[in-house]
Amino acid sequence: MIDFMSRMLAAFAALACTLLLAAAPASKGASAPAIPTQAHPALWTVHGSKGTAYLLGSIHILPPQMRWRTPQLDAALITADVFVFEIPMGDTQKAEIQEFIKQNGMLPPGVALPSLLTSDVRKDYIAALNLTHVPPELLTPMRPWLALLMLDAGHVSQQHLSIESGLDRQVYAFALKRGGVTFRALETPEQQLKLLMPEDQSLEVEEFDAGLKELLNETLSVNDLIDAWARGDVKKLNDLMNSGFKENPKAEKTLFEDRNRAWAAQLGSMLNQRHAYFVTVGAGHLVGPKGVPALLRAAGYKVDGP
């Protein structure tokens, strides 16, 4: 079963990858994942009173050799005049993340992350550093929530997956090159990062400890996620991304249900405008009975797709 912290990484992989790309060196020596090189990801089409929205589930970190364009996706990409992402893309996104980390991600001067850890947790911390190759001096001044996000992202990067090949980045690059389009975002980086940041420091250290153990146990198979996405297997994606939240319904509500409802409401408003929207969000938000397409169907919209 996919563990809680791994699902958090999957939910916020775009932010984790942005942080890693800005701060950590590239990884070396990992073997390429045994997954298809040609993807056929699922695509939903939502018909509104005036507008149309194409919904594509994103895998934020992909093998560089992965090809994902299909005739159906190309038609949607060319038709769309508005591109929608979870958070703003480009330099604005990076600047907002850096400012949030400056205000909320660092420990007080003179306090080092290892000093907050018990001897047992320090052993797991050292093992995680050895596993991910994230430089310890990078994490020393960080609060536990941010350090754990960096370690999780570092672990993924060790598997020869490319941050720049992430689907949201590729869609954004396509839209920029095409030109003549506008961009929208469903959330801000601050909204997303606040969901990862406990207010109580003792709880934050406990979650850091649990996250280290889960990281070392390697309970998340990124290859399985990418394979299910590449095959357009929405049932498998739902099982991997969402079903494990049965053990933590509060987290499911916060990380998925509440956000999915908010996004569906925003898309409903957009569909009252004469535009064609290409919407790229994390794949876990589109699959299953609580996903955005299901919510839009329940609201009375015609939704074509899986």
Q: What is the pLDDT of residues 104-138, one digit of tens each?
A: 999 999 999 999 999 999 999 999 999 988 999 99
Q: How much is the pTM?
A: 0.84
Residue ranges of domains in the chain = 4-24+39-304
278 or 161: which leads in pLDDT: 278
Residue length, the chain?
Answer: 306
Widest Cα–Cα separation across the chain: 61
Q: To 5 degrees, how large is the angle CA 64–CA 151–CA 99?
A: 90
Distances (CA, A) of 142 to 9, 16, 115, 149, 300: 17, 14, 12, 11, 46
- For residue 162, what pLDDT is reported? 66
β-pairing verdict for 276-282 and 52-58: parallel
- What proportion of the chain, given as a percentage, has pLDDT over 70? 84
* Residue for token pair 């987290």: 251
**Spatial distance between the Cα atoms of 285 and 79, rounded to a whole number of angstroms:** 23
- The string of pLDDT tens digits covering residues 27-70 is 343 444 456 688 999 999 999 999 999 999 998 878 888 899 99
**Spatial distance between the Cα atoms of 31 and 222, rounded to a whole number of angstroms:** 13
- The string of pLDDT tens digits covering residues 252-274 is 888 889 999 999 999 999 999 99
- For residue 26, what pLDDT is reported? 41
- What proportion of the chain, given as a percentage, has pLDDT over 90? 51
